[in-house]
Chains A and B, each alone.
Chain A
Amino acid sequence: MKGSCPRRWFSITDSQLVYRKRSKDNLTIMEEDLRLCTIRPQPDLDRRFCFEVLSPARSHILQADSEEECQMWVQALNASISHAYKTANSGMDQMDRDHGKGTSTSAVAQVNSSQGNKDGQSSGSKQSKTKIRMEQLLAIPGNSQCCDCGAAEPRWASINLGCTLCIECSGIHRSFGVHMSKVRSITLDTWEPEQLKVMLELGNAVVNGIYEGAVDESIAVRAKPDSNRAVREGWIRAKYVDKAFVKKLPGVTRANKLNKWSVRKKSRRSPARSTALQKTRSSPGSALCKATSLPGNLTSSSPVGHSTSEKNSPQSKDSGGEDSVLSGSGSADEDEGSLTSDMMEAVMSVSGGSMTKSMSGRGNGGGGGDTGSNIGDSGIADTASFNSEAGSDSKRIVFDVDRPAPLKGLNKTLDLESSDDSCQDFDDAEENLTTDTSAGAAGSRSAMTDRSSGVDCSPEDESTTSWEDMSRLDPHLLLYKACGARNLPVMLQALANKADPNWVNLDDGGRTPIMRAVITGSMATCEFLLLNNAKLDRKDRHGQTPLHHATILGHTGQVCQLLKRRADLNAKDNQQRTPLMIAVDNANADIVTLLRLAKFDEEMKESEGYLANPADDTFQDVFRDFTNMASNNPEKLKRK
């Protein structure tokens, strides 16, 4: 409350940097573990005697009273860091013997903590949180051993790759830079809930299935727990930097033809709806094609729902789709349910450009893939399972999405021509019925509303399944589609095959993968992309950024996620609307609050110069509230 640069009394205790606001206050921990911090003098600031404490999550600028004190602080902190490392290495926790107990000098403090959690939880709950996190992480297949050398009890993680690491290998990961690997301590760091979710979706077995898909030890010798640094470095470089052991997708090289990827989607629809859909589908003028602005390239499949293969889209960028291949998986029992999946299939094929595909009715569907861990992303049941099926030649990733809400995503696919419909496409069912029967011209609209209401008004619908053979997608498109399916393992596979996280899908409104991910509502999918260098502020054909999309769809958790990374608040779409204007129009109080708060925080920072940051605490508090809510109690964010 004391203006912009409050004075705090700092000390170093047990390798922690702590401070008090006033002499009698309790200690507040600023940095939990100095080993994770870098200390840098900041002689060039317009304040004097400043230095920076840089931790993985944030940066603090501290100002001392004099040049000497500043130097002393830097030395004391560095000494404490190296001491902490020594004590840790000798395996004993006797830090508080000589060094750990701190010097205390006064310093003026605390600015610019970008991101990151505030402290102040009791250390007890902190510990139990850490413990739960560790148990969760290590329970994932493969995670009990270092992903790279196999050492037992890894305590570090690469959060963008989704694997656990021993301390030695984590050091090498770090040395390659954060664009390759973002390393966190499982026990010492604070974790954003969505980062944990990313980890829970991947794991060492998945990562090595991809990055060690075709190991060639003539390139580099496999690292072992007792390998020296050079061996580890060679191995990790070949594995992640050169991606030398990644089995190439057919989309990359045509040589491997039997590598099959399928993304299976499950949709729910009532039989009645199916008929309606069929009407739409068989209606003249090919409504779907119209809707997706790829006229005339959709070959109608037989209404009985047999496996169909479709070639389409001369506009397609995809090179892999000349041959039609039936994967035939799950072709055993096809029933009337496949009508609707057929529909969905068609949608997918149009949006995806030319590709080969096959589909089936319920095939392996039903509850077949429901074995994954249910992590309830943003209130959407989300079950995923990763199966590497036997046979080195044919590997299939089965992904099962139980999605009541995210069919909105498909709306968006259909919605290319009319973006202003996107927030009001949940019209009443009557309209559907009329448009359904009238068919023809109104086709695009009817297909769209159909889809959403089919979801909205029939929660008890039977499940139908559609298959998509992704075997020949190029990695970019694979990444894009995997985003839509919220399938992190396939996304990682695509990235390992050098998919561009900022690829623009010209066949889908000029959207990037992050937009596709935002539309699904999955925070983990977004987080994974953001951790892998997805850009926040690209615009699609309608001039909309990911933040626009999240706002339009009312995805509070993702708005929060994007704002935490400082997405551009003032970006205007082609209709000159900012996200805030959209949120106000939609009367979405939570998103309005988040956007205004972020804006206010920005303005305060501008007017005060970057050293002062008075709104920062509240900003972070509110954002943490919402992040936690979105991750742990998404139902609370569902209102109306």
Chain B
Amino acid sequence: MSAIQASVPATPVARRGRLTFLGGRVLEYLAVLIVALTLNFLLPRALPGGPLKLFGSPEALARLTAEERAQIATEYGFGDPIHLQFLDYLHSVVTLDLGTSLSDGRDVTAAIGDALPWTLLLVGTSIVATTLIGITLGVIGGIRRREGKGAFTLTGAIVVDSIPQFWLAMLLIVWFGVKWQIAPTFGATGPDGTTVAGLAQHLVLPVATLTITGIGYIFMYTRSSMLSVLTSEPVQHAHARGIPRGRLVRRHVLRPALLPVHTLIMLDIGFLAAGAIVVETVFAYPGLGRLTFGAIAARDYPLMQGTFLVLTLMVVLMNLLADLTYPLLDPRARTGGDR
């Protein structure tokens, strides 16, 4: 397949093909969503223990009679037969009424609504930073693959990619929070409430953790993709014809090299929301990750289902977005392939 292609206007036949393609994709995503919803319902119930522990201290629960246990389970909806619970769950998803948290009686949709903006702020900022830095370093690493710095950067990326998020987060807290005291160690807002400066200060360490641990992956993927295009026959041929390296990279290498990186980043956005659980927990950041962590620890079925649903939707939507935006970046996808 040639890496350098001219864009060809879409014909009616191609448009029909694209509609069929999109229709197929939508059906695929619906199937994925149904499977994911089923898992979201089953996984909480597969965990050891159950939500009963939310209704008192172990000593108090031990005193409950069988009738009292059944009454609590029925009253709060986890005592019904499993198929009825599943139907209730599907109904709640369709109506977007995700029920009430067993932990504190809060509306699950409202709880998620409170937490989601914080996660989007955290993940969004780190995605931008990770993408810019990762791609820049990856492109440079690809171009300078034969230079000493390239190898050094690759080694550094592998090291950074291997650092556990928890460990890095604690290191940053120790040095920047405790030792130098230039960044807050926890939370999302300062004592003065929600100010831009306070928000930014509290984002520094969590974003740095997500960014540093995310750079290596994107760097290596970009570098590998760059190498693949740079060593392809047409680029080698163009290089032999004397086209300057800068122009060659800008016009003929970057675009095809970054196509797979685009897909990777889109997928990453969905997964990062879930991946922020560790960072949000360590930094006590009030986002979806901390909410999910608390829901799992408490065996709060409605809240777990709600947070899992949002995480699932984010992954599926990002996949769909990647599929839809790919043809905009790659003319071959608009015309049905390499013909």
A binds B: no
Identify the B interface with A (CB < 8 A).
none
